[in-house]
Chains A and B, each alone.
Chain A
Amino acid sequence: EVQLAQSGAEVKKPGESLKISCMASGYPFTKYWIGWVRQVPGKGLEWMGIIDPGDSDTRYSPSFQGQVTFSADRAISTAYLQWSSLKASDAAIYYCARTDPFVAGRPFDLWGQGTLVAVSS
């Protein structure tokens, strides 16, 4: 089955670090880019950026540049979203999604189930 499976919910304190994951299965991992999307509960979708798992080329939204880090491990078909120091304003649901913008012109056509990140002192 073609799917993206994300890691479970996290509860963290401000200032803590965090790395959440997105494991792909059922398709060639390096054929598609992986994107990350933030959604504060009850609010809209925010495009954070994308990463090419093949060579770790990344494109960050200006709003998230320097605030988060994308990475990928081809050996285990897994993409990661990382924070070095969480803020209360990072509390949200984070989705990973597959995209092929360069070759096929495809937007996010496969989504993970989302990871809820809670940040509270």
Chain B
Amino acid sequence: DVQMTQSPSTLSASVGDRVTITCRASQSLGNWLAWYQQKPGKAPNLLIYRASSLESGVPSRFSGSGSGTEFTLTINSLQPDDFATYYCQQYNTYSGTFGPGTKVEIK
């Protein structure tokens, strides 16, 4: 099984900050990596797929990069609505594993 790690586990930031979250895989994923945002009591919401493709309707302040085993999610100019938990997920044709999550808190 592919194992996923994320860092940091918690991040304290202010509105307007640039935030970066890192996701690492135990083996190469190519670009089969997605990012989700989840708010309390809600289902996750897809932000980024194929490592760097922005999902339709997602604000352009969100961006993804990376390939192979290391990936990043960047939020430019953090907004009040962005305080949430973020998960990466590897997905290929036959499996999918989520990272443990990164909680973005208000500083």
Q: Contact residues of A with B, CB < 8 Å?
A: 35, 37, 44-47, 50, 59, 61-62, 95, 97, 99, 101-102, 105-109, 111-114
Distance between B53 CB and nearest chain A CB, rounded to angstroms: 9
Contacting A at CB under 8 A, from B61-107, are 87, 89, 91-101
B34 sits at the interface (CB 8 A): yes
- Residue on B with the closest CB to A47? B96
Are A101 and B92 CB-contacts (below 8 A) given A111-B45, A112-B43?
A: yes
Binding site for A on B (CB under 8 A): 1, 32, 34, 36, 38, 43-46, 49-50, 55, 87, 89, 91-101
16 new A-B contacts at CB < 8 Å, known A62-B1, A97-B44, A111-B44: A35-B96, A44-B87, A44-B98, A45-B87, A46-B98, A47-B95, A101-B91, A101-B92, A102-B93, A105-B50, A107-B96, A108-B46, A108-B89, A109-B49, A109-B55, A114-B43
Q: Which residues of B contact A50 (CB under 8 A)?
A: 96
